[in-house]
């Protein structure tokens, strides 16, 4: 015997929409389907509601993606207690980069996303605190945080696009086969240009930037960003 359909009044009520619930659902879609599927329409389907209902909590897809990024920033561990301030700073930045590398579709979006949630603020506070522990002037630390996060994000975005081994091999071949007559420096340095593991190169880049930030004075005519 077929069971009679239940009345709408007998069905359990849907959970009330909240910004936290919307972002959690968006993160779940990101993990299983990628960032392209994190849209208002797909999210509304997941939450069994209409897209218009979501705009009460999130203004647009860009804000949604920024909120997703902020949520994932919460998975980055706090700065370790052991080690010098440079080492601790590098480990936090490496953790940020690793988080983006785990979500390739988010890495490129992170180049333009502007998160402003609690996890992003905690990350900025942590980096500034480590610079302060090293005695780096506040202006240099403030500009330095922006520079370091830009590099980490760009690195993750670059590796997120490495889906064509043929393209990489073509570059390797071009560098190795560059004639010394026309490209003497490339011919001499081809091995160095291609050397090092991604981990070693990322660490070297962070160390180089941190040392430069510590020593390079911010120009006095610099103004606060809008």
What's the pLDDT at 129? 96
Tokens representing 180?
């010394």
Q: Which DSSP string corresponds to 158-177?
A: HHHT---HHHHHHHHHHHHT
Q: Which of 198, 202, 102 is nearest to 110 (CA)?
A: 102
Mean of per-residue pLDDT scores for the chain: 88
What are the pLDDT digits (tens) for 127-162?
999 999 999 999 999 999 999 999 999 999 887 765
What pLDDT digit, counting tens, does each position of 21-44 carry?
999 999 999 989 888 899 999 999
Tell which wins on pLDDT, 187 or 104: 187
Distance CA 30, CA 110 (A): 14
Q: Does the pLDDT value for residue 210 go beyond 60?
A: yes
**pLDDT at residue number 12:** 55
Task: Give the three-class secondary structure for 194.
Answer: coil
Report the alpha-carbon distance of residue 100 to residue 153 in Å, rounded. Answer: 7
pTM of the complete model beyond 0.85: no
DSSP 90-120: HHHHHHHHHHHHHSHHHHHHTTT----SHHH
pLDDT surpasses 60 at 4: no
- The answer to whether residue 7 scores a pLDDT higher than 50 is no
Confidence of residue 224 (pLDDT cuts 50, 70, 90): low
Extract the tokens encoding 33. 């389907």
Fold of 59-215: Tetracycline Repressor; domain 2 (1.10.357)
Average pLDDT estimate for 101-105: 85
Domains in the chain: boundaries: 59-215
What is the spatial distance between Cα 69 and Cα 120, in angstroms, rounded to a whole number?
A: 9
């Amino acid at each position: 015997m077929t069971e009679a359909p239940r009345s709408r009044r007998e069905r359990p009520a849907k959970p009330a929409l909240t910004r936290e619930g919307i972002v959690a659902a968006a993160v779940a879609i990101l993990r299983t389907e990628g960032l392209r599927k994190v849209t208002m329409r797909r999210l509304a389907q997941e939450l069994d509601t209409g897209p218009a209902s979501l705009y009460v909590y999130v203004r647009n897809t860009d804000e949604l993606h920024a909120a997703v990024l902020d949520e994932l920033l919460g998975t980055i561990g706090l700065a370790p207690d052991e080690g010098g301030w440079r080492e601790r700073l590098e480990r936090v930045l490496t953790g940020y980069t690793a988080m983006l590398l785990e979500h390739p579709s988010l890495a490129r979006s992170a180049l333009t996303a502007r998160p402003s949630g609690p996890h992003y603020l905690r990350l900025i506070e942590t980096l500034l605190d480590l610079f302060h522990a090293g005695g780096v002037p506040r202006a240099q630390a403030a500009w330095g945080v922006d520079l370091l996060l830009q590099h980490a994000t760009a690195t993750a975005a670059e590796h997120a696009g490495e889906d064509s081994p043929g393209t990489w091999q073509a570059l390797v071949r071009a560098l190795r086969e560059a004639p010394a007559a026309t490209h003497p420096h490339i011919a001499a340095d081809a091995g160095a240009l291609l050397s090092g593991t991604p981990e070693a190169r990322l660490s070297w880049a962070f160390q180089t930037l941190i040392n430069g930030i510590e020593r390079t004075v911010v120009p006095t005519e610099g103004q606060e960003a809008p």
